[in-house]
Amino acid sequence: MLSIAKVAAAYEYHLQFSAAAGARSIMVAGYYYMNSTVGGDCSYYTQGACSGRGCRPPPPVYYYDTCTWDLFGNLLNETPGAPTPPAPLYQSGTEIVYANGFLSYTGKDTRNFGFVETPSAHYSWQSVNGGYADIPDAPYTIAATLISDGDYAVNFDGASVITQIYGTVTPSSGNASVTGNTCVGSVAPGSTCTVTVTYDPTVITCTASPYGYAYTGIDLSLITGTGSTTDFTQRFTVTGVKICDDG
């Protein structure tokens, strides 16, 4: 009975896999454990385009492959030849479980992704990640709040931020710095903390935009002991920037 007992608590990580452009019928599933890794299927096929009267589409090209992931769903390698699907151990909700590891289990979800459930420290951003804002040409403060939502406390070892340019009319990206951080040390499950970033676009000397716009953004990274990390990003349209003199 222990071999098919579901783990009481674990965080679900998707099995990462990028198929070729135009891929169809993508199958990603974890089938077995081997030396602290997950192995399984990562197969699909592609179909060439066809147009015009009497056109016959080329035959599909099939990619039957085996992939290996770590216990946090990160792809380690891909080799030709698909594994034989084992019989499922059980199904719980949308999860079809094929194998149990030590306090972990893996399989596929009927919502069309493979997964591995692993007890671990984890965090998620509560502030809108990947957002966008129109801001004036003046220092701007962003408060990025996250929650420790894994099985164990998250240990934070620092935060850093860089600026980025989006588009072709902005010659520089501005400056950014971490000006506040309560995500330090150990943050227990269920607790939140906040990293504050101050972005300064005033160092952008001018823009090629005829409207005085600069297109920039920030990318905030955290140093943690978790199995996976997610940067916090935000894009800006800075208004009121001096227009560059073409002469």
Domains annotated on the chain, with CATH: 2-118 (no CATH), 123-239 (2.60.40.10)
Residue 8 has pLDDT above 60, yes or no: no
pLDDT at position 9 over 80: no
Structure tokens at 183: 């995500």
**pLDDT by residue (tens digit) across 13-64?**
999 999 998 899 999 999 999 989 999 999 999 988 777 777 887 889 999 9
CA R_g for the chain? 24
Kind plus residue range of the DSSP H or E element containing 181: strand 175-181
Which band of pLDDT confidence, cut at 50, 70 and 90, is reported for residue 247?
Answer: very low
Is pTM beyond 0.85 here?
Answer: no
Residue 143 token pair? 């408060």
Compute the average pLDDT of residues 130-146.
97
Mean pLDDT for 164-188 is 94
Express each pLDDT in 192-233 by its tens digit.
Answer: 999 999 999 999 999 999 999 999 999 999 999 888 889 999
Cα(180)–Cα(94) distance, rounded to whole angstroms?
A: 41
Place of tokens 């040409």: 137
User: How far apart, in whole angstroms, are the C-alpha atoms of residue 73 and residue 219?
Assistant: 23
